[in-house]
Structure 1
Amino acid sequence: MIQLKNLSLRRGLKELLVAANLTINPGNKVGMTGANGAGKSSVFALLKGELHAESGEVLLPPQWTMAHVAQETPALPQSALDFVLDGDAELRRLQQRLAAAEASADGNAIGSLHAELDRIDGYSAAARAGKLLAGLGFPVEHQSRAVSTFSGGWRMRLNLAQALMCRSDLLLLDEPTNHLDLETVLWLEDWLKAYEGTLIVISHDRDFLDSVVTHIVDVSQQKLTLYTGNYSQFEVMRAEKLAQQQGNYEKQQRQVAHLESFITRFKAKASKARQAQSRIKALEKLERIAPAHVDSPFDFHFDTPDNLPNPLLKLERADVGYGDTPILRQLSLSVESGSRIGLLGVNGAGKSTLVKLLAGELQPLAGEVIGAKMLRIGYFTQHQLDTLRSDESPLWHMQKLAPQARELDLRSFLGGFNFRGDTVNALVGPMSGGEKARLALALLVWQKPNLLLLDEPTNHLDLDMRHALMLALQDFGGALIVVSHDRSLLESTTDAFWLVAGGKVQPFDGDLEDYRQWRLQQQADNGKAPGSAASDGVNRKEQKRLEADARNKLAAQRKPLQNKQNKLDKDMATLNSEKAELDAFLLLEEAYQEHNKARLAAALKRQGELSAQLEEMEMAWLELQEAMEALEG
């Protein structure tokens, strides 16, 4: 087992742990959570022997093999496959000894070493390494490429594959999903669930933690607290503790009321569609987890945009790519006011390329991008963190953006992003990735955009900040397009998905589970051996043509129904807004005073009319939905 006894740890002047204790049993899968800077990575450094505690003990079984993901990858000439095989140190030692024995013609040693290789399953090592690479998104033809030819994000995947290749007793993973797309995260979850050793993972992805871990270690208040269960269960237990404090309890109730209001507004659509149901479930989940964030240091929101033109942005037969090479072709899309769209697709399909086109960072190779006159884009990407001035402070950045604003107002605004006191004047350079991401988001929020383009906005953000961002995005009044591997963010803030695949972008009819099943089916189809007869290919082509014809026919039949349903959505939203105002008035005590008699009668009458109209419209919406489902059936 792993034991930390009376551990005290300091980094610089900051005390991270004071007399902390922790016991992790063999085979446990542990998620380590806590605010940025609480000491999670320092605990990892202690376990790896890279740091030494001020006092206390760190006890690890001496015979255990430990694996972790390297943070840097040199530009090596060796192939990706060989690099991953290096993760099995014992395999490499035996291979070197075998080569030496063969060179000296030592028959006894050769026989013994072959037996050792058989014992560790060394003859299937290359196949295992190839399978790891495939799971992490490397096509077979790329596995023989030199490590030096891969970009930084793909090298991080190689480092992860190398760590997984190690036949370890203890596996340490620090934010392993940050450089992965959604389907690779799902693959990693399945791999880790089957892992037989002890796992400790630092992650701010609650769905990933829920899927993988059996315990949570909360790093807070200079202590290490172990909870049994996954992250959702931990949130409930932590919430119960916090709710005992009256001030926190009142804040919790306000947050829950906010979420209940949001869910109620969404449920007014009376939707039976899978995507709508998925989102309602996600929001109900957020309602349950809200209490775990009652002591969050983050409190911000997006102001209502000054203008909401419709449509905000249109693409007309646009091609986009790099140089003269298109990545996406013939894009004809419209971003309507109030759209909330999540982009789906594998890494490299073109999601970020599409976002750059919409943001104006890439110009179309053909076709047009037409923005509304009053379009104001808020664009967030990890690359923007590099544009922050390292020799300046958060307050300087805000003053540069808003020179006319009062310093007191800017300080108050930055406080909502947990830049308080002296931290508003701290230099950006030494800040963590999470702190820089918070500053970049603060600069974006201040500008009151009416179209938000977010490319992996939650990387480096801790769970409290992710939760605060979800709440802010739910109330955002403009349009939203988001790329993220964070399923909670996608489920709770988007209404629709666009699929980026095969050089095209088109609506995806379904939720994230439907997308997962679609990808699994696609992978299964791609993995089937081709038929030996030439007619097999011809039959398959004919089948594809027929399937395409059927899809086109279905789309043509479905479109007028969908248009009617979309109009009903907008009309119901308008009526629901009016009804909410009437409901609020009728809850007031003054509504029933004598001088409001006429207004009360009119309000009650109008409330009844609106209820009848909404009921009629909801029935019409459901009939349209059933008609579309019948078409698909």
Structure 2
Amino acid sequence: MISLRNLTFYRGALPLLENSELTVHAGQKFGIIGANGSGKSSLFALLRGELQADAGEVELPATWVIAHVMQETPALERSALDFTMDGDRELRELQQALSAAETAEDGHRIAELHGALDAIDGYSAHARAAELLHGLGFTPEQLSLPVKHFSGGWRMRLNLAQALMCRSDLLLLDEPTNHLDLEAVLWLEQWLRAYPGTLLLISHDRDFLDAVVEGIVHVDQQRLVFYRGNYSAFEEQRAAKLAQQQALYEKQQREIAHLQQFIDRFRAKATKAKQAQSRVKALARMEKLTPAHVDSPFHFEFREPPRAGNPILTVDEVSVGYGTEPVLKGVSFSLRPGDRIALLGPNGAGKSTLVKLLAGELDVVAGKRTFSQGVVVGYFAQHQLEQLDDHASPLLHLQRLDERTAEQSLRDFLGSFGFQGEQVDAPVGPFSGGEKARLVLALLVWQRPNLLLLDEPTNHLDLEMRHALTVALQSFEGALIVVSHDRHLLATTTDEFWLVSGGRVSPFAGDLDDYHAWLVERRAQTASASRQAEPAGGSGRSAAERKEQKRQEAERRKRLAPLRKHLERLDREIANLAGTLDELEQALAEPALYESENKARLSELLARQAELKPRQEALEAEWLEKQEELEALQAVED
């Protein structure tokens, strides 16, 4: 297990953690949350041995293999597939040793190494790496391309695939969804839920945390505060805790006022001086409780946009793309004030292309795009962070947009986005990704758009800023189109879903759960079509050949049937067990359970959870084993 005791460490003169405690048992999955700059990434560096604590102890098993996502990827000639397989270091070491043994013609050593490769499932490594890359959005054709061929965002996906390829005991993931689309996020959720090791996950995606973790570690006021359950459970527990803290604070303030009133009234009277002095001492001894700071540090809203025609924008039989072959064809729709649309679709289907078309950054190849009079487009995309002037301050960026408004008004506005004090006048070059994203949003809001186009706006934003953006978007009065992997943002700020797929744009009848089901079905159909593809001319077989094929298919079904039944039974057991564990988690999330009179009940629930968790892991491992066995048998039969 991981054990942090009385942990203190600093960044320069600033304390990030002071006298903090945390215990993580093998196999547990915890989310790490906290404001940007609170020390979450530094905690990961500490666990990897890249930083040393200023005080306290950090213990974790010396034999554990730790996997994490590299932040930089050089322009390598290695293929994407080979780069991913490099994540399994033991595999690569055995392969190198085997190559040396074959060169030396050492038969005994060759046999020994083949046995070692078989023991670590080395012969399926190629397939495992390909499956990881496919899940993260890479096409089969991209697997053989060199790493240097890919852009920065796709290289980060390669780094993630390499980390997942590692057969690790501890997996440290720092904002793994930042460079993923919704399809890849949903796939990664499933992968992490089945991951057998210990997981520590830094994320600002509340739905992602809800789906993956069983505990939340909140980095708050230089402490590590643990909450049992997922992010939604954390919100409920923290709200109750803050409400109690606020009530205690208000009660204490009344007591202080009463004491101070007595002191002020009777200090000068000889007959009451002694009592007054005792109250002065009581006041000095009283532990000061801080008020509950539950408000987000970010508060902003979209100002009323200028009037524009209705419809704001019309797209008529438009084709658009980057070369001779359009990405989207025959697209037609109208946007009206108040339309709130989320774009869904597989990776590479053209969601960002459509947004660029509407932003005026791409010209139409065919058809017609018409903006009404008075349209003010507000467009947010990741590349705009790179277009900020590194030498200019947030204030100067805003002054370039508006030279007439008083400087204090601009400073007040920037303060609502978290830019205060010296930071308002500091050059933005050294700013973090989250700070630059906040500045781009501030500049966008100041321009009072009536057509708002957001392409992955939550990348780099922490939970507080995401909440502030969500609240602001809910009252935005113009037309809104969003591309995002943040399901909470989509569900709470948009009214319609449009599906971008197969070169077309069409309304999607359903919610995000339906979209997830659509993606699963699409993957299954693609896999099935690939397995069932036959060479041309198969229809001209003789009656005898068709009879033989039917006989073989019947035998195949007979061989596969027991495995399928076994998997169905495992599915039922896993589902039932998951339901029981969910009920236990809900019971354990009740604050009253941790009061002294409920100690026996708490011990009972923890013991039951400790009994069922290993059973769940064993069933899931057996399910994966049988599923792989089924797929392997199907592949052989095919």
TM-score higher than 0.5 = yes
* CA offsets 1:518-545 (integer angstroms, 9 cap, x no match): 121122112113365979999xxxxxxx
Aligned twin of 1:254: none
1:56 shift after superposition: 1.9
Matches for 1:106-145 after TM superposition, within 5 Å = 106-145=106-145
Aligned twin of 2:447: 447
* CA offsets 1:194-223 (integer angstroms, 9 cap, x no match): 111000010000000000001111011011
Paired residue secondary structure (1:63): coil
Aligned twin of 1:105: 105
* CA offsets 1:228-269 (integer angstroms, 9 cap, x no match): 11010011111112223549999xxxxxxxxxxxxxxxxxxx
Aligned twin of 2:159: 159
Given the alignment of the two structures, is residue 462 of structure 1 paired with residue 495 of structure 2, yes or no?
A: no
Structure 1 CA distance for aligned equivalents of residues 94 and 134 of structure 2: 26
Q: 1:209 is aligned with what amino acid?
A: L
The percentage of counterpart residues that share the same residue type is 63
Structure 1 CA distance for aligned equivalents of residues 535 and 323 of structure 2: 41
Structure 2 CA distance for aligned equivalents of residues 233 and 537 of structure 1: 58
Structure 2 CA distance for aligned equivalents of residues 323 and 141 of structure 1: 19
Paired residue secondary structure (2:36): coil
* CA offsets 1:100-126 (integer angstroms, 9 cap, x no match): 111111121111111111111111111
1:86 shift after superposition: 0.6
Q: Is the 8 A contact 2:175 2:202 kept in 1?
A: yes
> Normalized against structure 2, the TM-score is what?
0.75
* Structure 1 residue ranges without an equivalent (≥5): 251-291, 539-633
Greater CA drift, 298-307 or 470-479? 298-307
Aligned twin of 1:48: 48
* CA offsets 1:303-323 (integer angstroms, 9 cap, x no match): 121214211111112111113
Aligned twin of 1:339: 339
Structure 1 CA distance for aligned equivalents of residues 171 and 352 of structure 2: 31
Aligned twin of 2:395: 395
Paired residue secondary structure (2:321): strand
Paired residue secondary structure (1:326): coil
Given the alignment of the two structures, is residue 62 of structure 1 paired with residue 62 of structure 2, yes or no?
A: yes
Structure 1 CA distance for aligned equivalents of residues 293 and 436 of structure 2: 21
Paired residue secondary structure (2:349): coil
Aligned twin of 1:232: 232
102 and 293 in structure 1: CA distance in 2 versus 1, 3 angstrom threshold: farther
Structure 1 CA distance for aligned equivalents of residues 517 and 293 of structure 2: 33
524 and 293 in structure 1: CA distance in 2 versus 1, 3 angstrom threshold: farther
Aligned twin of 1:607: none
* CA offsets 1:463-498 (integer angstroms, 9 cap, x no match): 011011111000001110000000000111111011
Q: 1:376 is aligned with what amino acid?
A: V
Structure 1 CA distance for aligned equivalents of residues 249 and 142 of structure 2: 54
Q: Is the 8 A contact 1:242 1:248 kept in 2?
A: no
Structure 2 CA distance for aligned equivalents of residues 79 and 521 of structure 1: 30
242 and 383 in structure 1: CA distance in 2 versus 1, 3 angstrom threshold: same
Aligned twin of 1:36: 36
Matches for 1:48-447 after TM superposition, within 5 Å = 48-246=48-246, 294-447=294-447
Paired residue secondary structure (2:326): strand
Structure 2 CA distance for aligned equivalents of residues 117 and 488 of structure 1: 44
Greater CA drift, 156-165 or 71-80? 71-80
Greater CA drift, 449-458 or 128-137? 128-137
533 and 70 in structure 1: CA distance in 2 versus 1, 3 angstrom threshold: closer
Q: Is the 8 A contact 2:183 2:347 kept in 1?
A: no
Structure 1 CA distance for aligned equivalents of residues 111 and 463 of structure 2: 54
Q: 2:42 is aligned with what amino acid?
A: S
1:293 shift after superposition: 8.6
Matches for 1:9-24 after TM superposition, within 5 Å = 9-24=9-24
Paired residue secondary structure (2:78): coil
Q: 2:53 is aligned with what amino acid?
A: A
Structure 1 CA distance for aligned equivalents of residues 223 and 203 of structure 2: 18
Structure 2 CA distance for aligned equivalents of residues 336 and 247 of structure 1: 47
Segments ≥4 residues shifted beyond 4 Å: 245-250, 531-538
Structure 2 CA distance for aligned equivalents of residues 434 and 340 of structure 1: 25
Aligned twin of 1:514: 514
Q: Is the 8 A contact 1:344 1:499 kept in 2?
A: yes
Structure 2 CA distance for aligned equivalents of residues 328 and 293 of structure 1: 48
Q: Is the 8 A contact 1:308 1:478 kept in 2?
A: no
Q: 2:434 is aligned with what amino acid?
A: G
1:324 shift after superposition: 3.0
Superposition RMSD in Å = 2.0
Structure 1 CA distance for aligned equivalents of residues 92 and 30 of structure 2: 29
Structure 1 CA distance for aligned equivalents of residues 117 and 199 of structure 2: 26
Q: Is the 8 A contact 1:498 1:505 kept in 2?
A: yes
Q: Is the 8 A contact 2:308 2:372 kept in 1?
A: no
Q: Is the 8 A contact 1:293 1:464 kept in 2?
A: no
1:427 shift after superposition: 2.0
Q: Is the 8 A contact 1:40 1:202 kept in 2?
A: yes
Structure 1 CA distance for aligned equivalents of residues 295 and 51 of structure 2: 30
Greater CA drift, 525-534 or 487-496? 525-534
Q: 1:440 is aligned with what amino acid?
A: V
* CA offsets 1:555-587 (integer angstroms, 9 cap, x no match): xxxxxxxxxxxxxxxxxxxxxxxxxxxxxxxxx
162 and 306 in structure 1: CA distance in 2 versus 1, 3 angstrom threshold: same
9 and 531 in structure 1: CA distance in 2 versus 1, 3 angstrom threshold: closer
Structure 1 CA distance for aligned equivalents of residues 404 and 149 of structure 2: 48
Paired residue secondary structure (1:348): coil
* Structure 2 residue ranges without an equivalent (≥5): 251-291, 541-638
1:155 shift after superposition: 1.4
Q: Is the 8 A contact 1:382 1:455 kept in 2?
A: yes
Q: 1:380 is aligned with what amino acid?
A: F
Greater CA drift, 324-333 or 478-487? 324-333
Q: Is the 8 A contact 1:248 1:295 kept in 2?
A: no
Structure 2 CA distance for aligned equivalents of residues 141 and 442 of structure 1: 40
Aligned twin of 1:25: 25
1:514 shift after superposition: 1.1
Q: Is the 8 A contact 1:298 1:418 kept in 2?
A: yes
Q: How many residues align?
A: 497
Aligned twin of 2:585: none
Q: 2:13 is aligned with what amino acid?
A: L
Greater CA drift, 175-184 or 387-396? 387-396
Q: Is the 8 A contact 2:227 2:234 kept in 1?
A: yes
Structure 1 CA distance for aligned equivalents of residues 230 and 503 of structure 2: 39
Structure 2 CA distance for aligned equivalents of residues 443 and 249 of structure 1: 38
Structure 1 CA distance for aligned equivalents of residues 433 and 535 of structure 2: 55
1:63 shift after superposition: 0.5
Q: 2:177 is aligned with what amino acid?
A: T
Paired residue secondary structure (1:325): coil
Aligned twin of 2:532: 530
Structure 2 CA distance for aligned equivalents of residues 501 and 246 of structure 1: 50
Q: Is the 8 A contact 1:243 1:249 kept in 2?
A: no
Aligned twin of 2:619: none
> Normalized against structure 1, the TM-score is what?
0.76
